[in-house]
Structure 1
Amino acid sequence: MRDFHLPGRSPVLCQNGMVATSHPLAAKVGVQMLEAGGNALDAAIAAAVLLEICEPQMTGIGGDCFALISRPGEDVIAMNGSGRAPAALDAGRLRAEFGATMPEHGPQTVTIPTAVDAFCRLNSDHGRMSLGDVLAPAVHYAEAGVPVAPRVASDWAGVSHLHASGKTHLTKDGAPYLTGDIFRAPGLAEVLRRIAVEGRDAFYTGEVAEDMVDTLRALGGVHTLDDFAAAQAEYTSPVSASYGGHEVVEHPPNGQGATALLILNILKNFDLKSMDPFGAERAHIETEAARLAYDARNRFLADPDYMTRLDHLLSQDTADGLAALIRPDAVLPEGMEPAGAVHRDTVLITAVDRDRMSVSLIYSVFRTFGSGVVTDRFNLLLHNRGSGFSLKEGHPNEAAPGKRPMHTIIPGLVRKDGATIMPFGVMGGPYQAHGHARLLTNLLDYRMAPQEAIDAPRLFHRDGALEVERGYAETVRARLAEIGHRVLVPEAPVGGAQAILIRPDGVLEGASDHRKDGCALGY
């Protein structure tokens, strides 16, 4: 039980249905879908689309998504809503222009956004409510506007890569929106109305697609209407591993879910339960396990059509061999490929309905305000997932026509005895795989409740430094530095998370990260 003398959050408890998101208005709309007879998928999609108005720096229909959907007695469904590179992409030309690394922003980083196709297909195949009913709240709030929340305003400050239409649409006379300012997106409302009536073709063909293609090509992109018309989300098979008597289910590549499983498999070699959960020993072992797993990810993970080493990543033998490299009193040498570009721009929605359908859905434009490209007519922000490609010749993740880049976003589920007991997810760009392992070891090794496990301090090794949140004691930082870590306190918190536990007594227990503006709500 939490100490009520101290700041913190109590878990949210209910019996019927629940939604947890990073913005309270999205959680409210999701619960309204459940109360109106919709299922968890209807709630998740309604909340996700609305988040483009609530958190425009994080997500939008110009981005990608992944989802895991579980129904009692059925296999888990995985949906890959990530997009492919345009057919005219030329890696050699990109190397000549940008060198060995993909640019962070601009039209070259825009793969075909595929979240809309995924949402339409999931709604048709598994939803209860009409697409129009699911999209209606987002249409309303796109026109009426939403006050900017504190974390959103913090992320908005300092953004400087927006192109002309972006500066008009996503700033107030060139200045970032501040807390309490009303943000509206009437162009998005119009596009959502068209999707509600015409389905995915309203986005991938006709005037909306023309707007995206014309804007991109005017800035030097090679996208065509054929690229957009061919966009297609795909059902695929989840990957999983056992940990602490539970099954952890992740989305397969081109997402990094296998990386989270590799971290957990490495940690099986250590007696975490005997370590102080917030001490230096656990922090060091966890960090080294994540570093080794991310190195493997960066070598092998890619579009599944190009990847040949998934079994290697998922093998316990691989994990055991990596675990043997970890020393308790020294850090692994630098020189491994970095864990990924710095970004924290993703939204995660978890939902459970009265029939115990569970959904974990993650949806993103990648970095803050994505590519910086906003279309001229409908003012749609386009993501920059293409910056997740490698430009190293022969690398499995090398940029290529029609190829999907490695994605950092990953939804997650925990199952026990064949039944889903918790949809969850951790936001935070490259941190997400580490974050999944951190959250699950908090829950399963240290028996923390979901809210306690989410609230607990975090750390992440990035760009040669170990980012350690202020929640850790100074003595822990000192010991980590003594071992050999270059310790710093990050300016922004590390990631964010949402989870809904289906307790054995049937009560739903929701948890939402204090590092974001959101909450869990139920009925």
Structure 2
Amino acid sequence: MLNQMPVGTEVMITSPHYLATSAGARILAQGGNAYDASIAVSITLGVVYPHMTGPGGDAFFLMYDAKSSELSGYNGTGRSPASLTRELFEQMNLTSIPRRGVLSAVTVPGVVDAWWEISQKYGCLPWEKLFDSAIQYAEKGCPISRNVHTWMLRDEAYIRADQGLSSVYIRDGKLLSEGDLLIQLDLANSLRILQSGGREAFYKGVLADAITNAVIQDGGFLQKEDFENHTGEWVTPLKVDYREYEVYQMPPNSQGFSVLMMLNMLENTNVASIDRLSASYYHLMTEVIKKSFRDRDRYLTDPEFREIPIDDLLSKPYAKQLWKEIEDSPEKAQPFLSQAMGQDTAYAAVVDGEGNAVSFIQSLYYDFGSAYVPEKTGIILQNRGSFFSLDPDSPNVLEPRKRTFHTLMPGMVLKDGKPYLLLGTQGGEGQPQTQLSILTAVLDYGCTVQEAISLPRWVYGRTWDVEGDELKLEQRFGAEVIEELQAMGHEVIALSEWEDLMGQAQGILIGQSGLLSGAADPRGDGAAIGW
């Protein structure tokens, strides 16, 4: 199950699909930089991994610029319609926003804006060039990979229920099989419009018209004005020091600060002294996760609507206070009921020969997003806004022109002021947990990036809508580990040795000598390419 870990001296690209990784490699070989390659990878993922991402979704980009030695972030997430309030759903006798269908598509997609802004600021190749691979795969077809087909089977009912999806994934009345060519002509046409028309085509031009006209006709809420008024945001990444490293994450509305809180707590102990495959390790990780998620769920939302005390949450004294709560019950699982949330995401990373580094992540939220495609666009709209609450007391309550609590969180670690580790993963609630696994594996246990990604993983909480407060573990150790965790009070669920539900992580490690190691998750269809 272990992917080979390529090592290079000049460039490295990794993504959850080998064709997207190849698209990025082509851009670098043609003289593009890491920013160009990351956009090409991102666009191509929307074609070859359409159940996870596409032009109808959101994205975050975390970037290190070698010339300025500066780290920056771009928040490519969309807002709710200006006319939409929670009362409108209550008038429909709904207690929550539907998770599928046109009513779940209640935020403007932000990824296209992110592509454009990053390309214009940092790219060196023409915008049009970045679409070549994606359009080729959409028009001529790409083989349906194992992971895509797995989710097609799970979501067949949604696929059959939507004309835009069924026209692509159903042939002669049957669902396409793994290895069949996936041809997406409407999506190819939309990508050509983007290729020639740029950002304006999506937010003010023909694609904005096509999407919003269809949404309104089908009973949804997104208006042309919502697209016209959309803007992403350049942001300053958050940072904590962890041992001799600087760990960076995106600020809210991303949940990235949650893993920074976990690391602050773990600084109070010698993690490396604990057996990585022991019950003690999984117990400790789960307890710091609970403390972090308690504050995440208490505060996280669009920071333009509610003050979030980030400085306090990321302070070392506060971490010591939380650590003391764990020390007071060292062998006892504390109760905490997390929120249920979606998981389908695509993370990728690129480092180029100049030393530029891009860590980025994008998503439709659920598998196949809203499972709604506006007529003749081929674009699956995200259902990210379905995570808004209709509870007026919730920090994440639905309000006009608001960004929702976002699971997406690309990560980057610097050492001596230079990029050392780029990391991220699919997985909703699992994203900060898998990042914690990889971070401790590399920074505390000295693992390679491939070893870190391949270690047995866990997910605590209600991800994938499982009721209860469960700790899910990949079963690659003895039964005594589970028995010890159960004795501590954990509700343990043993999964397969290599479990799809653990998501797909990717990473790039930059060694002291400048060697670049790339890794793709053996649980997915990805590849790392470097030279």
SS at match of 1:521: strand
Q: Contact 2:262–2:292 (CA<8 Å) still a contact in 1? A: yes
> Matches of residues 322-401 of structure 1 in structure 2 within 5 Å?
322-326=322-326, 327-334=329-336, 336=337, 338-341=338-341, 343-401=342-400
Structure-2 change in CA distance of 1:167 and 1:37 (3 Å):
closer
SS at match of 1:222: coil
Cα drift, residue 455 of structure 1:
0.3
Once residues 477 and 146 of structure 1 are traced to their aligned partners in structure 2, the CA distance between those partners, rounded to angstroms, is 42
Q: Contact 2:345–2:425 (CA<8 Å) still a contact in 1? A: no
1:75 aligns with 2:70: yes
Of 469-478 and 245-254, the range deviating more from structure 2: 469-478
1:482 aligns with 2:487: yes
TM-score by length of 1: 0.95
Once residues 14 and 500 of structure 2 are traced to their aligned partners in structure 1, the CA distance between those partners, rounded to angstroms, is 22
Which residue matches 1:425? 424
Structure-2 change in CA distance of 1:516 and 1:505 (3 Å):
same
Which residue matches 1:516? 524
1:51 equivalent among 45, 51, 71: 45
Once residues 476 and 101 of structure 1 are traced to their aligned partners in structure 2, the CA distance between those partners, rounded to angstroms, is 39
Structure-2 change in CA distance of 1:222 and 1:344 (3 Å):
closer
Counterpart code for 1:161: Y
Structure-2 change in CA distance of 1:167 and 1:500 (3 Å):
closer
SS at match of 1:129: coil
1:249 aligns with 2:248: yes
Once residues 117 and 226 of structure 1 are traced to their aligned partners in structure 2, the CA distance between those partners, rounded to angstroms, is 15
Structure-2 change in CA distance of 1:297 and 1:221 (3 Å):
same
Of 270-279 and 483-492, the range deviating more from structure 2: 483-492
SS at match of 1:516: coil
1:8 aligns with 2:10: no
Once residues 41 and 507 of structure 2 are traced to their aligned partners in structure 1, the CA distance between those partners, rounded to angstroms, is 15
Which residue matches 2:230? 231
SS at match of 2:365: coil
Cα drift, residue 191 of structure 1:
1.4
Cα drift, residue 282 of structure 1:
0.7
* Deviations 1:423-464 (CA, angstroms, capped at 9, x unpaired): 221221121112212210111111111110000011111231
Counterpart code for 1:229: E
1:171 aligns with 2:169: yes
Cα drift, residue 185 of structure 1:
1.2
TM-score by length of 2: 0.93
2:471 equivalent among 442, 450, 466: 466
Once residues 169 and 79 of structure 2 are traced to their aligned partners in structure 1, the CA distance between those partners, rounded to angstroms, is 29
Instruction: Supply the RMSD in Å over aligned alpha carbons.
Output: 1.6
Which residue matches 1:282? 281
Which residue matches 2:148? 152
Which residue matches 2:59? 65
Once residues 317 and 290 of structure 2 are traced to their aligned partners in structure 1, the CA distance between those partners, rounded to angstroms, is 17
Once residues 279 and 300 of structure 2 are traced to their aligned partners in structure 1, the CA distance between those partners, rounded to angstroms, is 30
Counterpart code for 1:165: Q
Which residue matches 1:4? none
Which residue matches 1:499? 507
Once residues 477 and 293 of structure 2 are traced to their aligned partners in structure 1, the CA distance between those partners, rounded to angstroms, is 23
SS at match of 2:188: helix
SS at match of 1:498: strand
* Deviations 1:229-269 (CA, angstroms, capped at 9, x unpaired): 11111101100111121000101110111111111112222
> Matches of residues 22-37 of structure 1 in structure 2 within 5 Å?
22-37=16-31
Once residues 312 and 216 of structure 1 are traced to their aligned partners in structure 2, the CA distance between those partners, rounded to angstroms, is 42
Cα drift, residue 42 of structure 1:
0.7
SS at match of 1:425: strand
How many residues end up aligned between the 2 structures?
A: 514
Cα drift, residue 112 of structure 1:
0.2
Which residue matches 2:109? 113
Which residue matches 1:300? 299
* Deviations 1:366-386 (CA, angstroms, capped at 9, x unpaired): 110001111112121000110
Once residues 397 and 175 of structure 1 are traced to their aligned partners in structure 2, the CA distance between those partners, rounded to angstroms, is 40
Cα drift, residue 102 of structure 1:
3.0
Once residues 436 and 291 of structure 1 are traced to their aligned partners in structure 2, the CA distance between those partners, rounded to angstroms, is 15
Counterpart code for 2:332: A
Once residues 473 and 268 of structure 2 are traced to their aligned partners in structure 1, the CA distance between those partners, rounded to angstroms, is 24
Counterpart code for 1:314: L
Q: Contact 1:108–1:386 (CA<8 Å) still a contact in 2? A: no
SS at match of 1:324: helix
Which residue matches 2:13? 19
Identical positions, percent: 33
Cα drift, residue 19 of structure 1:
0.5
* Deviations 1:91-112 (CA, angstroms, capped at 9, x unpaired): 1222454654332222233200
Which residue matches 1:3? none
Counterpart code for 2:9: Q
* Deviations 1:36-70 (CA, angstroms, capped at 9, x unpaired): 10000111110111111211100000000000110
Q: Contact 2:168–2:184 (CA<8 Å) still a contact in 1? A: no
Once residues 270 and 355 of structure 1 are traced to their aligned partners in structure 2, the CA distance between those partners, rounded to angstroms, is 37
Once residues 316 and 485 of structure 1 are traced to their aligned partners in structure 2, the CA distance between those partners, rounded to angstroms, is 28
Structure 2: give runs of 5+ residues left out of the alignment: 463-468
Structure 1: give runs of 5+ residues left out of the alignment: 1-6
Once residues 410 and 12 of structure 1 are traced to their aligned partners in structure 2, the CA distance between those partners, rounded to angstroms, is 25
Q: Contact 2:412–2:422 (CA<8 Å) still a contact in 1? A: yes
Once residues 25 and 197 of structure 1 are traced to their aligned partners in structure 2, the CA distance between those partners, rounded to angstroms, is 23
Counterpart code for 2:158: H
SS at match of 2:154: coil
SS at match of 1:200: helix
SS at match of 2:528: strand
Cα drift, residue 219 of structure 1:
2.8
